[in-house]
Structure 1
Amino acid sequence: MEISNKVALVTGGACGLGRAFCEMLLSYGAKVSICDLDSDAGENACDVLGQKFGKERVMFCHCDVTDYVQFEEAFQTTITEFDRLDIVVNNAEIMNDKFWELEVDVNLNGTIRGMLLALQYLGKDKEGHGGVVINIGSAQSFRPQISTPIYCASKHAILALSKSCGDAYHYNITGVRVIVLCPGVLHHDASSSAFGNRFKSPSHEKAWQLDMKGVHPQKCEHVAKGLISIIRDAKSGSVWLIANEKAPKEVPYSSITM
């Protein structure tokens, strides 16, 4: 899929990696709907990116991915504004094992809601024209992370969801490619202090240092650049790792599950 003139909806798009995704998509000619719970940050991102790329190419939707009705309204508003929707990036997440029920509701259930809505509005079997869904996993989707086990579990589950929905059986019906992008640790996430009081216990906070051993943090912009090539060329059901400032690498699902 070529990016130019396509419309993308990005959850958690107001700051951090989500904002980098929005900016990169805009730089390649897409129109972007920034969806985020933080209205102040979202409006600011919309203003700044609108000035840089054109106000007619970017919009903001207040969106809580734990609320299906509100999430669906973001899809509807985006399609009303831009007349179409081609790309959905389910990026919204939190890492806070102390509030694990919310963590799971945002990271996993939010991705499920976004996945179902994308199939409803993009699926050829639903009178859509097909498209691409990028579900954001994590490098921790592939291996245990002893410091944040519940966050890790939510990211593991995204792989199973995406592999199932992205199977050729479903793609042949819907015309919607489903792909997993798994970023490694980002610069602003590299230290335990970046998460404040988000670990389940002091022992889990200490375990963070073990999890981070040998890890090289990367910039959000590097991951966002990789998103473009994945949208363009990746097969439905494929899983991609972007870590340590290296190019995107496809990870065979059999090597994860064996």
Structure 2
Amino acid sequence: MEVKGRIALVTGAATGIGKSYAEELLNQGAKGVAICDINGEEGEKLYHTLASRHSKDRVLFCQCDVTDYLQFEDTFKTVIATFGHIDIVVNNAGIMNDRFWELEVDINLNGVIRGTLLAQRFMGIDKGGRGGVVLNTASNVGFNPYVSCPIYSATKAAIVSLTRAFGDQYHVGLTGVKIMAICPGATKSNLVRDVGKQLLYPRYEDAWRRDTASSTYQTPEHVAKSLVQILANGKSGSVWLVESGQPPKEITFSKH
């Protein structure tokens, strides 16, 4: 799907990779972008920045907690009331904190499930919608798990499987909604602030250093440009690795 003229809803869009997603979608000609984030202060700040740069008619901020289904549902309704419809949903909200693993699972995995089901409901041709695209943010640890953060790795692996299953032509035929996943490698963002407090146990820090020893950090802007390429060229059910500042690479999985 080409971005130009489309309406996009992006979760976790106030900071980090999500912020770059919102900026790049507008740069590529999106007709409207909804910045959805639990962080009201940063979300409002980004809204005013992008509205002054691109016109307030093209930007919307919705304070949204992806762990709250009713609030997430209201966000979809608000975006549709503002822009008329939604073409693209980017399920990006996520945290890395195995110490608070129940919240981590609820945001990283359940939030993506909620966003995917809501997208099918509000965009699905079987529900009177126009179809569209969902792009889920997973991670390179979704298929190469980090020993140091097993629960975080598990949430990202689950997103990969969810995407491959819901992205199958069976579901696309029912809903008209294509689903893909982007898996960024190490990226300069605010995901890791104090790793000692984000790992399940402090003793895992040695494992973290081994896991990340060979990482080459890329910019969130590169990940955002890759997202646009994947939207334009990816097929439903596909999973794309973006790491070390290289072009997106589709990951292949053997079928049994």
Residue aligning to 1:222: 222
* 1:188 and 1:194 in contact (8 A); partners too: no
Distance 1:83 1:221 in 2: 28
Post-superposition offset of 1:196: 5.0
SS of the residue corresponding to residue 253 of structure 1 reads coil
Residue aligning to 1:128: 129
* Letter aligned with residue 16 of structure 1: G
Two-structure CA RMSD over aligned residues (Å): 1.4
| Post-superposition CA distance 1:135-190 (Å, at most 9, x none) | 11001011121111100000000011111100011111211110010000112469
Residue aligning to 1:89: 90
Distance 1:52 1:218 in 2: 25
Post-superposition offset of 1:194: 4.2
CA 1:193–1:69: 2 relative to 1, 3 Å? closer
Unaligned stretches of 5+ in structure 2? none
SS of the residue corresponding to residue 79 of structure 2 reads helix
Aligned residues: 255
| Post-superposition CA distance 1:9-56 (Å, at most 9, x none) | 000000110000000000011110000000010000000011111111
Residue correspondence of structure 1 range 188-227 to structure 2 within 5 A: 188=189, 194-195=194-195, 197-227=197-227
CA 1:213–1:189: 2 relative to 1, 3 Å? farther
* Letter aligned with residue 35 of structure 1: C
Task: Tell me the TM-score normalised to structure 2 length.
Answer: 0.97
Post-superposition offset of 1:193: 5.5
| Post-superposition CA distance 1:69-105 (Å, at most 9, x none) | 0000000000000011000000000000000000000
* 1:11 and 1:90 in contact (8 A); partners too: yes
CA 1:193–1:134: 2 relative to 1, 3 Å? closer
Residue correspondence of structure 1 range 51-90 to structure 2 within 5 A: 51-90=52-91
Residue aligning to 2:5: 5
Distance 1:94 1:3 in 2: 27
* 1:94 and 1:107 in contact (8 A); partners too: yes
SS of the residue corresponding to residue 135 of structure 2 reads strand
Residue aligning to 1:28: 28
**% same residue:** 49
Residue aligning to 1:49: 50
* 2:135 and 2:182 in contact (8 A); partners too: yes
The answer to whether the aligner puts 1:144 opposite 2:126 as a matched pair is no
Unaligned stretches of 5+ in structure 1? none
Distance 1:14 1:106 in 2: 15
* 2:189 and 2:220 in contact (8 A); partners too: no
Post-superposition offset of 1:253: 2.3
Task: Tell me the TM-score normalised to structure 1 length.
Answer: 0.96
* 2:196 and 2:205 in contact (8 A); partners too: no
* 1:189 and 1:195 in contact (8 A); partners too: no
SS of the residue corresponding to residue 197 of structure 2 reads coil
* 1:10 and 1:33 in contact (8 A); partners too: yes
Post-superposition offset of 1:211: 0.5
Residue aligning to 2:246: 246
Distance 1:240 1:250 in 2: 4
